């Protein structure tokens, strides 16, 4: 079979399209399997513990703002565990505290105990941190979408710089999951 110039062009164009499509699919698949090196070095067993300290993985300890973020998160979780609204207000942005009056906050966190807190990712632009932790609370105060006494969280918190220092300013809704313990 003899190929004409037009047939060769069609054949080569088809081969090029197939090769590019396969390469793009392979790159997409490999990109989705990106390994978080800070997470690879942590042995995390979900579930409640007696440890209420915020710990950093080796990778997050080395980040420029890692210790600062750890301090903000420690203040945030200590305020919840100690039922200290005033400390909680100091650890969050005004946009967070303005929607939580002291009575509502005290009621919503009245049974919460957060433990097993490990920061697995820190980034600076924007300032954010991924943390794994376990929360125990009465079922009626658990999130409506997961009414459980014990919840394992994987949350990415957002932070803002203020005149008074770094504060927690929200949660990345695309980077949040929760599962019942057990």
**Residue 118: half-sphere exposure toward Cβ, Cα within 13 Å:** 19
Assign 22 to helix, strand or coil. helix
Give the percent of the chain with pLDDT over 70. 77
> Domain span at residue 100?
43-180
Asked whether residue 102 is assigned to any structural domain, the reply reads yes
In whole angstroms, what separates CA 139 from the centre of its chain? 23
Strands 113-124 and 54-56: parallel
Asked whether residue 1 is assigned to any structural domain, the reply reads no
**Closest to 118 in 3D by CA, of 165, 51, 33, 174:** 51
User: Beta strands of 17-101 (E only): which ranges?
Assistant: 54-56
Contact between 105 and 85 under an 8 Å Cβ cutoff? The reply is yes
| pLDDT of amino acid 118 | 97
Task: Give CA–CA dist 55/129, Å, rounded.
Answer: 12
Q: Is the pLDDT of residue 11 over 80?
A: no
Written as six digits, the tokens of 29 are 């698949």
Asked whether residue 91 is assigned to any structural domain, the reply reads yes
Asked whether residue 16 is assigned to any structural domain, the reply reads no
**Closest to 85 in 3D by CA, of 69, 101, 96, 99:** 101
| pLDDT of amino acid 174 | 85
Q: Which residue has the higher pLDDT, 7 or 60?
A: 60
Asked whether residue 103 is assigned to any structural domain, the reply reads yes
Segment 53-62 mean pLDDT: 92
Q: Which residue has the higher pLDDT, 23 or 81?
A: 81
Query: Which pLDDT tens digit goes with each residue over 60-77?
Result: 988 989 999 999 999 999
Cis ω on the peptide bond leading into residue 98 (within 30° of 0)? no
Contact between 116 and 51 under an 8 Å Cβ cutoff? The reply is yes
| pLDDT of amino acid 42 | 61
Asked whether residue 3 is assigned to any structural domain, the reply reads no
Total domains, the chain: 1
103 phi/psi in degrees, rounded to 5: -70, -45
What confidence tier does 175 reach under pLDDT thresholds 50, 70, 90?
A: confident
To which residue do tokens 């399209």 refer? Answer: 17
Asked whether residue 28 is assigned to any structural domain, the reply reads no
Q: How far is CA 92 from CA 34, 114, 124, in A?
A: 31, 17, 18
Give the percent of the chain with pLDDT over 90. 68
| pLDDT of amino acid 34 | 33
The helix (run of H) or strand (run of E) holding residue 31 is: helix 5-32
| pLDDT of amino acid 82 | 97
Asked whether residue 169 is assigned to any structural domain, the reply reads yes
CATH number, domain containing residue 114: 3.10.450.50
141 phi/psi in degrees, rounded to 5: -110, 5
């Amino acid at each position: 079979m003899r190929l004409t110039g037009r047939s060769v062009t069609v054949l080569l164009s088809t081969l090029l399209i197939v090769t590019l499509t396969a390469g793009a699919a392979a790159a997409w698949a490999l990109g989705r399997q990106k390994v978080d090196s800070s997470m690879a070095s942590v042995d995390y067993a979900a579930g409640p513990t007696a440890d209420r300290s915020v710990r950093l993985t080796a990778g997050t300890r080395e980040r420029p703002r890692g210790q600062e973020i750890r301090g903000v998160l420690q203040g945030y979780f200590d305020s919840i565990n100690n039922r200290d609204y005033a400390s909680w207000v100091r650890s969050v942005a005004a946009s967070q505290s303005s929607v939580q009056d002291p009575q509502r906050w005290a009621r919503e966190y009245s049974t919460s105990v957060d433990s097993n807190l490990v920061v697995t990712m820190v980034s600076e632009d924007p300032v954010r941190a991924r943390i794994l932790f376990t929360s125990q609370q009465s079922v009626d105060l658990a999130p409506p979408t997961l009414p459980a006494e014990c919840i394992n969280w994987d949350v990415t918190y957002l932070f803002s710089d203020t005149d008074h220092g770094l504060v927690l300013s929200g949660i990345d809704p695309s980077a949040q999951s929760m599962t019942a313990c057990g």
